[in-house]
């Protein structure tokens, strides 16, 4: 079993949490997420042009880059996380250009060496898989794909082909942030996805509260929370860990009682 499949084989649904690398004291913030009960960590790789992100994560990218966060620093954060938390799956999430800059093989082997389990690349759809997918698979890293409300039945098999780790369902046609999907539409979409794949399905975009998380956990294998956590990092700076721990435990608690 991989770290990712173990996380989705727990008796409860998985809580997947996102923060941006280099934004605040990332090591302390990541530890707080784990202590609060996160089952999977998504670590955002900052990029100058985060086209799929709303204001909260855009601001986090700017803060991280402003603090001088390099690719080497992101990998260092990952490596040290892996040393402190040997069993918690870690997924890098970001945009194509920083990932392919030194060549996909370089990135894949550096990420594998840092103990990364999966990679989500927002702007490499299945059509451009060659740009990164083969290198990730060769390095034993799961390429995690996104399905969205616009991914229709005809297209879904192409998205699933070559996906690994889990399937990330983006519940709103939109950017990360506050826009929320109607629960009924999430239920319907997750049922459709689960009928088409054995991969665990995690739902994200617009998930902010324990109540939402609980409702999603009734149907999906995982719940992804990003912007709400990133906002806490932006708001509380050095004091972010305690706030992150609090929100994460509330989310984890809600998921465990629901799922």
- Which candidate, 205, 203, 232, 217, places its Cα nearest to that of 13? 217
Tokens representing residue 237 in the block? 């700076």
| Given 42, 117, 129, 221, the catalytic residue | 42
Q: Is 221 a catalytic residue?
A: no
What backbone phi and psi angles, to 5 degrees, belong to 233? -65, -45
70 or 257, CB closer to another protein? 70
Please give the helix or strand (H or E) that residue 146 lies within, else none: strand 146-147
- Nearest distance in Å: CB 250, another protein: 28
List CB contacts of 226: < 8 A, sequence separation 6 or more.
Answer: 17, 18, 19, 42, 44, 57, 176, 204, 205
| Given 23, 39, 53, 129, the catalytic residue | 53
- Nearest distance in Å: CB 151, another protein: 6
Q: Is 53 a catalytic residue?
A: yes
- Return the residue matching tokens 């997420």: 33
- Nearest distance in Å: CB 196, another protein: 15
- Nearest distance in Å: CB 55, another protein: 8
121 or 225, CB closer to another protein? 121
29 or 151, CB closer to another protein? 151
- Nearest distance in Å: CB 111, another protein: 14
- Nearest distance in Å: CB 146, another protein: 5
Binding site for another protein (CB under 8 A): 47-54, 58, 62, 65, 70-71, 95-101, 122-125, 127-128, 131, 145-152, 155, 159, 170, 172-175, 179
- Helix, strand or coil for residue 178? coil
Rounded CA-CA distance 33/160 in Å is 29
* Exposure of 189 in the CB half-sphere (CA atoms within 13 A): 26
111 or 147, CB closer to another protein? 147
First to last CA, the chain: 22
Q: What secondary structure letter does DSSP report for 201?
A: E
- Helix, strand or coil for residue 217? helix
20 or 71, CB closer to another protein? 71
CB 167 within 8 A of CB 192: no
CB-based burial of residue 131 (10 Å sphere; 0-12 exposed, 13-18 middle, 19+ buried)? middle
96 or 196, CB closer to another protein? 96
Helices 240-258, 26-36: axis angle to 10 degrees equals 30
Active-site residues, by number, are: 42, 53
């Amino acid at each position: 079993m991989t770290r990712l499949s173990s996380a989705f084989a727990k008796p409860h649904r998985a809580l997947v949490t996102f923060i941006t690398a280099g934004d605040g004291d990332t090591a302390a913030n990541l530890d707080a997420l784990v202590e609060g009960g996160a089952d999977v960590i998504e670590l955002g790789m900052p990029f100058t042009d985060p086209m799929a992100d709303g204001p909260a994560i855009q601001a986090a990218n700017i803060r991280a880059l402003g603090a001088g966060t390099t690719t080497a620093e992101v990998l260092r954060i990952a490596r040290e996380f892996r040393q402190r938390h040997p069993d918690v799956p870690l997924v890098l999430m970001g945009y194509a250009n920083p990932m392919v800059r030194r060549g996909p093989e370089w990135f894949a082997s550096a990420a594998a060496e840092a103990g990364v389990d999966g990679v989500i690349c927002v702007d490499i759809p299945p059509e451009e898989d060659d740009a990164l997918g083969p290198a990730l698979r060769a390095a034993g890293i799961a390429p995690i794909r996104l399905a969205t409300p616009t991914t229709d039945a005809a297209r879904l098999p192409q998205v699933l082909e070559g996906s690994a780790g889990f399937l990330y369902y983006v519940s709103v046609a939109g950017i990360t942030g506050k826009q929320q999907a109607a629960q009924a539409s999430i239920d319907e979409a997750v049922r459709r996805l689960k009928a088409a794949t054995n991969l665990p399905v995690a739902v994200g975009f617009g998930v902010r509260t324990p109540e939402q998380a609980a409702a999603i956990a009734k149907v999906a294998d995982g719940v992804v929370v990003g912007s709400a956590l990133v906002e806490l990092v932006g708001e509380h700076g050095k004091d972010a860990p305690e706030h992150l721990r609090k929100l994460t435990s509330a989310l984890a608690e809600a998921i465990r009682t629901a799922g």
